[in-house]
Structure 1
């Protein structure tokens, strides 16, 4: 039976909150704005944030996403360093909410998810749902993930969202919001290949036909926009609409959480 407890999943992109070209950098004004908007909206939600300049450079340095490779110097130390760097970033974000007396709880992703070859599983999401019941907003983040086969990898914020959509039981996800640096998905202009157009609305069954424009990307060990699109397709299979918004535009996060009209990409579900 479908729960009547509605929730929104909000992904704060790592490249939105940090400068991926400058290791361990935080865009403090962007973070402050996002936190203020989330508090003002005061909706029931789970926040998931990406690794940005705290996770991606180290994950790339130690080839964490490729799994155990004894030929890589200090790789085991590297997964610990990558994990701790993400904890540091997460702690900064947590503190921004606590300084404003807003109740949030950091949920360590690598402690609730595990891999077995290509399958990601969790014993329970009770801690997340209980926090929500208590009026506490859970915050998860891209992290390392251990593998029962004696290895490890990266679990991205997008992957976390997909697993939450699949495994939450007491709450149903009304929509997923991706707050990014751009206005959404762009496709190549068929009449002028040098131009691109924003996709403002499309149905989930149309995603495979989109000719995505290559807008360039910074270091990203989790697949970039095309990798994100694959996760979006999987999210839509759970009958959950997706919205991609520009988190740099003042007020857009708040408006999205309040379901107001935005210039962004809305991915609707085919009934």
Structure 2
């Protein structure tokens, strides 16, 4: 039986983060063609919000908790990310991929910014039948704050553990984690301490590259490596060949 692959498309890959919900439809269709060419892959797809969600979450200060003034931001943020999700699913289906969008707002409950409940049994069942679930970073209700933003990166780690996936990839707009302009081929907890990893240069309420590394180190501790690579190397990652990016792994693992 094929192994389930968890693939994350960064928000900066499929949107222009300098605009507001500026979706890169051409890039989406390129990605869809790569995935359609590999129909045997059991895939769960997660995408970031990019410019569809981050501006709204920042404007309404969703991560700071709910008040009478910012309650409308829950709808505005969710609507923005849902519109991007619809575009991703549409591109996949146009290419012949049996994709269905799934909204974390409907499934998850958080406490102080971390998911404490998230249903995944139906996601596992979907992959058994050749359906590609497409999830995204989203606003969810939070037992302490009222609301919070759950990043696509947090979803990746949650799904990888729940579905026992050992293949996790994050496609980005850079060739990997960079230090002094060069790709860092391998990161574990010891090397991460010595790296000066910047956050997103544009609006990002979920922590940019620093947030990714934190999530993926926790996943590595649980025994699953994660690969960070440029979107142009998506086919190589799916085929299990060299992608020239970064592997986040457990300390001491060769």
| Structure 2 unaligned regions, length at least 5 | none
* Counterpart check, 1:78 vs 2:63: no
Whether the aligned pair in 1 keeps the contact of 2:225 and 2:249 (CA below 8 Å) is: yes
* Counterpart check, 1:135 vs 2:130: yes
Query: Once the two structures are superposed, what CA deviation does each residue of 1:85-140 show, in whole Å capped at 9, x if it has no partner?
Result: 11111011111122223211111111111013455223531110111111101110
Give the corresponding residue for 2:4: 7
Cα RMSD after superposing both structures: 1.9
**Which residues of 2 match residues 63-142 of structure 1 at below 5 A?**
63-70=61-68, 73=69, 75-122=70-117, 124-142=119-137
Aligned residues: 251
Give the corresponding residue for 1:153: 148
Whether the aligned pair in 2 keeps the contact of 1:103 and 1:137 (CA below 8 Å) is: yes
Change (3 A) 1:119 1:225: closer
| Structure 1 unaligned regions, length at least 5 | 189-195
Give the corresponding residue for 1:173: 165
* Counterpart check, 1:266 vs 2:250: no
Query: Once the two structures are superposed, what CA deviation does each residue of 1:149-179 show, in whole Å capped at 9, x if it has no partner?
Result: 46000000001111112323xxx21221110
Please state how far the C-alpha of 1:214 moved relative to its aligned partner. 4.0
Q: Distance in 2 between matches of 1:150 and 1:225?
A: 24
Q: Which SS does the other structure have where 1:11 is aligned?
A: strand
Segment of structure 1 superposing worse, 82-91 or 142-151? 142-151
Give the corresponding residue for 2:59: 61
State the TM-score, normalizing by the size of structure 2.
0.92
- Rg comparison, structure with higher value: 1
Please state how far the C-alpha of 1:217 moved relative to its aligned partner. 1.1
Please state how far the C-alpha of 1:213 moved relative to its aligned partner. 5.0
State the TM-score, normalizing by the size of structure 1.
0.86
Q: Which SS does the other structure have where 2:149 is aligned?
A: strand
Query: Once the two structures are superposed, what CA deviation does each residue of 1:223-249 show, in whole Å capped at 9, x if it has no partner?
Result: 0111111111111111111111111x2
Q: Distance in 1 between matches of 2:155 and 2:210?
A: 17
Segment of structure 1 superposing worse, 53-62 or 209-218? 209-218
Change (3 A) 1:35 1:204: same
Segment of structure 1 superposing worse, 144-153 or 255-264? 144-153
Whether the aligned pair in 2 keeps the contact of 1:19 and 1:27 (CA below 8 Å) is: yes
Please state how far the C-alpha of 1:67 moved relative to its aligned partner. 1.3
Change (3 A) 1:116 1:104: same
Q: Distance in 2 between matches of 1:156 and 1:225?
A: 12
